[in-house]
Amino acid sequence: MIKTSNKFQLRYVFDDESHAMNAIVRNICERELLQIFNEVINVLDLDIDLECDAFTDRGLHASWRFAGEDHAQVTLVLAAIFEYLDKAPSENKEELSAQMENLQKDNKQIKAALKEITDGLKDEKVVTDELVHKVVSLLDQDYKLIYYKSNFFKKVNAYSKVVKINTARLNDDNKVIGTAKTLAKKQFQRFILKSDKLPPNVDEDATIELIAPVLKQGKYQWKGLYNGDVINFEMGDDSFKTSVFNKQIEFYNGSTIQCVLSQTQKMDELGQVKITKSEVITVLEHNVKEGIKETEQGKKFKKVKEVKMSQLSFGF
């Protein structure tokens, strides 16, 4: 059984005897840490508030109180965060790709699994090592958390004065619960992602209502309505573009295209996914006065997809 705790302590250890740290650097580092705290509380769907409780003694300490009425839930959150911060991200590209796909799905499956754990905790009121390990393994599939942790260690690593950090769980009397953890500066690198790029989001059956098609040659952006949002996009289907330039396709109010849409993504400093580029790879169908017309390239795309699906069904 894991002992009750309600505070998380972070200690920066410096290369000198001072207690001072650049205020901007400290705030940038701890913003990422707070993002981690907040994300864990949110995915666990618990009613817990964060309170700052900072003090200085030998280097620079900072502690945060996790305030909630259910002590078992608070203890679980703190123990999970404490263990998670010491867990390096996977070096397996396929595993990282799966984590990023989970991000696109808004972590619904992760949240459901975590909610089952926290609901069960209401009756037991006991936090075990096994329970914490289950939570940490689920949190490790949340790419937002991986990104926030990477940012935290990237910022701390860049500040030359910090030579190590200590983390600990505390109780109300500021007594350390369990064993504190120490990470030396040379270990920070293993938590930092080599790239913060996200895989493109590909919709193979996207419907775009055209607002402003491009009717002349040049590097111009098309404009359309996709999933209720206005987007600017590149037309990467050369066959379709040629037909448009040759006036073989007419557009009218309400014209739509069914297409394969690829959207390049990146994560901003707040951990929000932003679309940086949209491109129509293949136009499958488009409106004509007589109805819907399938393109030749659309037919080829669907045929290739059907072959792939049949191969998968036979286990190839």
Mind giving me the DSSP string for 108-133?
Answer: HHHHHHHHHHHHHHHHH----HHHHH
Q: Decide if 2 is inside a domain.
A: no
Domain count, the chain: 2
CB 40 within 8 A of CB 93: no
Q: What is the CATH number of the domain that holds 218?
A: 2.40.50
Which pLDDT belongs to residue 37?
A: 95
Copy the structure tokens of residue 244. 């448009």
- Domain check: are 130 and 237 in the same one? no
Residues of the domain holding 110: 7-191
Could you read off the pLDDT of 281-295 as tens digits, one per residue? 999 999 877 788 999
- Domain check: are 210 and 297 in the same one? yes
Which pLDDT belongs to residue 74?
A: 92
Strand stretches in 53-117, DSSP E: 60-67
Pairing of strands 49-52, 60-67: antiparallel
Which pLDDT belongs to residue 82?
A: 95
Which pLDDT belongs to residue 295?
A: 93
- Domain check: are 14 and 147 in the same one? yes
Q: Decide if 134 is inside a domain.
A: yes
Pairing of strands 273-288, 229-235: parallel
- Domain check: are 129 and 205 in the same one? no
Which pLDDT belongs to residue 316?
A: 47
Q: Return the number of other C-beta atoms located less than 10 Å from residue 301's C-beta.
A: 18
- Domain check: are 116 and 84 in the same one? yes
Q: Which stretches of the chain score pLDDT less than 70?
A: 54-59, 90-107, 123-124, 196-197, 269-271, 311-316
Strand stretches in 68-221, DSSP E: 162-170, 176-184, 201-212
- Domain check: are 164 and 223 in the same one? no
Q: What share of the chain is helix, strand, coil (3-state, %, to 5)?
A: 40, 30, 30
- Domain check: are 179 and 35 in the same one? yes
Among 191, 213, 236, where does a domain finish? Answer: 191
Copy the structure tokens of residue 265. 């993504």
Could you read off the pLDDT of 114-127 as tens digits, one per residue? 888 888 887 667 88
- Domain check: are 183 and 219 in the same one? no
- Domain check: are 166 and 228 in the same one? no
Q: Decide if 48 is inside a domain.
A: yes
Q: Decide if 196 is inside a domain.
A: no
Which pLDDT belongs to residue 94?
A: 56
